[in-house]
Amino acid sequence: MMDAAGEQTPGNGSADPQPHPAREMSLHLLRMLETRMDAAGIVMQAEMQLLVTRLQLLLAIVLPEAARVPVLSAVIAAFVIAAVWAQLAARRQGSAHGVGSLSWLLESLKLDLEVLSRSLSQSATNSTSSESPRSPPNDLAA
């Protein structure tokens, strides 16, 4: 069986009790990529909040005192409307798991790395089992 990280669980009857180092490295790299993507999302959210806060602060400083509350209310309403519109537009374009989404990209990377690690483990076992004593090259010419 495969768990969420794509690793084989011990009870699956696998002949290889210890995973291949290339598989371990590829899964580690995938986890690193996922962590960095999560961190990038957090940074984007923080930057957006900072931008909104700075815009509100700028408007509060620049505007006359009587116009501050209505203008800031309109700015907040505009951001809320833009967020709702962006959500609706994203839903119309496709699901969160469709082709081109972040989850699709990460799932495809997991599958690619799993195929790579399996092929590396097969080539390593084939190369160790197929090594036999060879005759010197001059025997081939005879």
CA distance 74 to 52: 13
> pLDDT band for position 19 (50/70/90)?
confident
Residue 109 lies in a domain: yes
For the ranges 5-14, 33-42, 87-96, 114-123, the lowest mean pLDDT is seen at 5-14
For residues 61-66, give the mean pLDDT: 86
Domains in the chain: how many in total?
A: 1
Position 101 scores a pLDDT of: 67
CB 23 within 8 A of CB 122: no
Residue 136 lies in a domain: no
Residue 16 lies in a domain: no
Question: Could you give the percent of the chain with pLDDT greater than 70?
Answer: 70
Position 15 scores a pLDDT of: 53
Q: What is the pLDDT of residues 70-94, one digit of tens each?
A: 888 888 899 899 989 988 887 777 6
Residue 38 lies in a domain: yes
Residue 5 lies in a domain: no
Position 37 scores a pLDDT of: 84
For residues 56-82, give the mean pLDDT: 87
Residue 29 has pLDDT above 90, yes or no: no
Residue 135 lies in a domain: no
Residue 133 lies in a domain: no
> pLDDT band for position 1 (50/70/90)?
very low
Q: Residue 49: give the domain boundaries.
A: 22-125
Residue 15 lies in a domain: no
